[in-house]
Chain A
Amino acid sequence: MALPRHVVDPNGHVLNEEERTYHESFMREAIGMAELALQTDETPVGCVFVKDGEIIGRGMNATNRTLNGTRHAEFIALAEILSKHPISILQETDLYVTVEPCVMCASALRQYHIRAVYFGCWNDRFGGTGGVLTIHSDPSVDKPYPVYGGIFREEAILLLRKFYVQENEKAPEPKQKKTRELKTEILPLEMVNPDQKAKKLKGAKKENVPVTTTVFAAKETVTVSTVTSTLKEIVAVDTTISTAKIFQQEKPNDQNPGGSTVSVALESS
């Protein structure tokens, strides 16, 4: 499966074949952990921490088993790492996780000075690295870290869907989910977090709502043809989009120091 086009490094560099293979191999390991979680009635989120091309910690969600709502995959893997290594190892370590880290984990990772985070799908309920909040890059006493989203996004979503058609007996009032069906169709929309966009559109009163999304974070320049082809891809999958405007921001940020950001405003009808 090809890596989505927007998985670029903070310098706007689109990953080459070799780099893709490298990151995909670790995301594949993370997905393996998530599948394990699903088999044991845990929310299927899995992760691996990687230093110098080697996995130094593995984790899967364990909130049901432990009755502890904070036992996320990242915390489980971090405990494994800290049982063998000094804390400082995390400064040279990358995280691969199937679902975007939540606000809690995003903050923990920043306090531990993680090097970078690669994730599968966005978390529009409590994502901390762009899904809901941007804990990785907000003003803080700790240095920011780069995040890359969308690696095997469809598989990560499908795993979550499989879980949500199961029943959570630990919940105070287990919801009847027998009638739930597993949907397997996933929109190949990569540039916009579809759930977030849907929420925005639903909550809006006006008919035409511009949805601005960052397509590329580029340090140098982004060719117009790249942007155009990406836009075609978006417009093709979302027929409600009537117009798309491209604009460039020269606003540097933590993730993109000294660089410019190319964004598109999509008007949905």
Chain B
Amino acid sequence: MLPDSCPPKGRLLPLKTRDELRAALETIDVYAVEVPARFADKVLNIFRTTYPDLFTNNFQHIRRVAKFSFLPPHIQSNFSSLPDLWEEVEGLSDEIVDEDAEQKEKKRVELRYVITTSTSSLPTRDLLQLLATNPPFTGLRIQPQVFTVPIPALAPTSAEQAEQWSREYWPVSYRNTNPYGPHPALVGRNTAEIEDAAPIWLHLAEEVGEQVRAAGYGESVGCVITDGSGKPEELIAVAGDCRWRSPNGEPMPKEASGNVMAHCVQRAIAMVAKKRLRASGKDPETETLAHIYSDSPVTAMEETAYSVDNTPPNGYLCVDLDIYVSHEPCIMCSMAILHSRFRRCIIRRRMPLTGGLTAETPETQAKGDIYGGSRPAGLGCGMFWRPSELNWKFLAWELDTGVEKEVGIEDTLHA
């Protein structure tokens, strides 16, 4: 399979973090109370003063007072709304009895649905009693209507997610923040910085992958390392997979996993290290068994990038560098990227059976993709952003071209 002759067109989608996806799964049951619109704030206030402890900030992402028409249809049909009764008690029904139906519809009592608290924090009986002894229910023959509805427990992390939740659960508002991953503003800024060149680098990564495959050295997997911290962007290293390259540099029989340490990401990282040694005036060939890792260029493209002296000698590992990979790196390579302190990682295709970067799992995808599109479930490692567990984090994207493209390698392969 030959790569496309020109760079793929598409947009960069930031990868979702594990915490984001898990947060999206959590719902809690809450009470919704039906009241005429002009009483909505009063009911909320009564509740706040009676149960100050239960009036938490946990529902900041929820519209606590919602119009009937804004509720999802399946919630609407569950609510046994009582507009006729309310009209009666509000004294409206007499006035409009002679007018035509259209007029009547207009003057109908506007009802609101007020979220009070979670069902687990207060017995229904207590809530009913509180409502019955306060306006608008005091002295009325109308019984408070209290419904139990599930709402997302945590704030949405994108506008699309907020929209979807508003359709599925309850009207939700989105604030431009993300407690479960990189801040949207940071992601936006970085996306803008790399989106023009990303397809070109990914194309290059695919090309070198195809070259090593054709040479019999490895699978059609490749990567490109760039320094995007200055202008113009520098190409630092290019490497293709060399798992099927024997210690003497020849193609070898394809048995089991081959030489795992010669995955393209490992090779490219080694080339950066050697360039740094060279830049600081040291011998880059210090490792006597370096040929086992295939850490020297094996294609003309690799050699071109390797031969240029453009790494500052005082650099540390791969700090401030970006890595573009034709396929989602395996867990080993994802961790190598983390160990090397990369700044950003961009992948062309996912590897659901072996990839270490993406965070979707069958569980998180069970209800369909909450972010739209179709992101396949994978191992759920999400290694680029696990700051509470691992000692580094970086930004990660995938290129969405809108068309499903062949992965080009076996899906059980570790890229």
Contacts and interface: CB of A to CB of B under 8 A. Distances in A.
Interface string B185-201: 00000000000000000
Contacts of A113: 256-257
Interface stretch (A76-84, A149-157, A248-256): A76-84
B332 A108 contact: yes
A112 to B, nearest CB: 6
Contacts of A33: none
Contacts of A170: 316
B245 to A, nearest CB: 11
Given A66-B287, A79-B292, A132-B390, A88 B255 contact: yes
Contacts of B390: 103, 125-126, 132
B210 to A, nearest CB: 23
A124 B297 CA distance: 36
Contact of A107 (B286, B332, B341): B332
B83 interface: no
* Majority DSSP secondary structure for residues of B touching A: loop
Contacts of A108: 260-261, 332
A46 interface: no
Interface string A68-111: 11110001101110110001100000000000001111011001
Interface in A102-150: 102-105, 107-108, 111-113, 125-126, 128, 132-133, 135, 138-142
B331 A135 contact: yes
A141 B332 contact: no
Given A70-B336, A103-B335, A138-B379, A111 B270 contact: no
B78 interface: no
A151 to B, nearest CB: 24
Given A67-B317, A103-B390, A104-B335, A87 B255 contact: yes
A139 B131 CA distance: 52
A134 to B, nearest CB: 11
Given A68-B270, A83-B292, A132-B389, A126 B335 contact: yes
B330 interface: yes
Given A70-B266, A79-B289, A82-B292, A87 B331 contact: no
A70 B289 contact: no
B335 A128 contact: yes
A125 B386 CA distance: 11
B258 interface: yes
B237 interface: no
B414 A111 contact: yes
A199 B353 CA distance: 32
Contacts of A135: 331
A132 B389 CA distance: 7
Given A66-B273, A68-B273, A79-B292, A111 B335 contact: no
Interface string B238-272: 00000000010000000111111100001001101
A70 B317 CA distance: 10
Contacts of B330: 107, 111
B316 A104 contact: no
B121 interface: no
Interface string B80-115: 000000000000000000000000000000000000
Given A66-B287, A67-B273, A135-B331, A82 B247 contact: yes
B42 interface: no
Which of A65, A68, A113, A171 lies at the interface centre, i.e. has the most chain B CB atoms within 10 A of its CB?
A68
B349 interface: no
Interface in B334-372: 335-336, 338-341, 353-354, 356
A126 B332 CA distance: 12
Given A107-B330, A141-B353, A102 B289 contact: no
B383 interface: yes
A87 B261 contact: no
Interface string B307-328: 0000000001111000000000
Closest 4 CB pairs of A and B: A104-B335, A68-B273, A107-B332, A107-B331
Nearest to A80: B289
Contacts of B353: 141
Contacts of B412: 141
B293 interface: yes
B339 A82 contact: no
Contacts of B339: 69-70, 102, 104, 126
B276 interface: yes
A223 to B, nearest CB: 35
A13 B290 CA distance: 41
Given A66-B273, A67-B277, 16 more contacts: A67-B273, A69-B317, A75-B261, A75-B293, A76-B289, A79-B261, A83-B247, A83-B292, A102-B335, A107-B330, A107-B331, A108-B332, A111-B257, A111-B260, A133-B389, A141-B354
A104 B391 contact: no
A78 B266 CA distance: 14
B335 A107 contact: yes
Contacts of A172: 316, 319
A75 B333 CA distance: 13
A126 B354 CA distance: 19
Interface string A29-71: 0000000000000000000000000000000001001111111
Contacts of B389: 132-133
17 contacts: A66-B287, A68-B270, A68-B272, A69-B339, A70-B339, A71-B287, A79-B290, A79-B292, A83-B247, A83-B292, A104-B332, A104-B333, A107-B332, A132-B389, A139-B379, A172-B316, A172-B319
